[in-house]
Amino acid sequence: WQYVSSGIDTTVSGDQAAGETTIEVADTTGFSEGDHIGITLDDGSQHQTTISAVNAGVSLVIDDPIPTGRSAADNTAVVKAVALTGNDDIQVSVVTLPSHNWVVFTNGTDPPKRYNGTDCITVPNLPNGGDFKARVALVFENYLIFMNTIEGGQAHPQRVRRSDTGDPTNWSTGNAGFDDLLDTEDFILAAVPLGTVVIIYRERSINRMTFVGTSERTFFYDTAITGEGVISLDSI
């Protein structure tokens, strides 16, 4: 396992020998005391440690020295790891987005993230300036969709929010928007495609979501089952 860059990274300046705890780097911007970082070593492995101090613009002081028999060569990568605050009560919802070669995931407590093979950052341009969380992630009809959201601190457990068509970085114009399924008060807990529709699983009901694609309506929702639902993503 290796730490994936959170979008904040730098490179080593000069060779850093075994036993070294003060790592000279090209840039310290974005790094702070307590951050988990990964330093690429001469054998391609990653030295994983924690920052104990930052000498602004010069170096990072680390808790664990470069291992015996290893070194970090000039211009090799130093990455700040992705820090998440998920909990055991909320399962992670993960989807792939082929149009952008992304993996998108949400854990209900952090803003949704996207991984593109290089770094893992918050999905760009989310509503409320990125103060946004969701329980469910889905890709359907070329839309990136989040359900059961918290937006600007306000919970919307019946909300289905979509990006613009084919553009997961646009949440405000074009076909971007949301629908609140308020016929019942139970929360959305999961959603999966089934043939040409999406089945939305809630606490005490199950809905069908059908693509319409007109200027007046993007999706149509109808209730398939009442009085039965799910307790979690994996209980489907």
Rounded to an integer, what distance in angstroms lies between the CA atom of residue 170 and that of residue 24?
Answer: 39
Three-state SS for 43-109 is CCCEEEEEEEEEECCCEEEECCCCCCCCCECCCCEEEEECCCCCCCCCCCEEEEECCCCEEEEECCC
Residue 232 banded pLDDT, cuts 50, 70, 90: confident
Q: Give the pLDDT score at 182.
A: 95
Reply yes or no on whether the pLDDT at 181 is more than 90. Answer: yes
Q: Give the pLDDT score at 233.
A: 83
Reply yes or no on whether the pLDDT at 5 is more than 90. Answer: yes
Reply yes or no on whether the pLDDT at 215 is more than 90. Answer: no
Q: Which residues of 79-95 are buried (b: 16+ CB within 10 A; e: fewer)?
A: bbbbeeeeeeebbebeb
For the stretch 137-179, pLDDT in tens is: 999 999 999 999 999 999 999 999 999 999 999 999 999 999 9
Reply yes or no on whether the pLDDT at 25 is more than 90. Answer: yes
> Which residue bears the tokens 């109808």?
222
Residue 236 banded pLDDT, cuts 50, 70, 90: confident
Reply yes or no on whether the pLDDT at 7 is more than 90. Answer: yes
For the stretch 53-65, pLDDT in tens is: 999 999 999 999 9
What is the pLDDT averaged over residues 21-29? Answer: 97
Reply yes or no on whether the pLDDT at 196 is more than 90. Answer: yes
What is the pLDDT averaged over residues 196-217? Answer: 95
For the stretch 70-110, pLDDT in tens is: 999 999 999 999 999 999 989 999 999 999 999 999 999 99
Q: What percent of the chain has pLDDT over 70?
A: 100
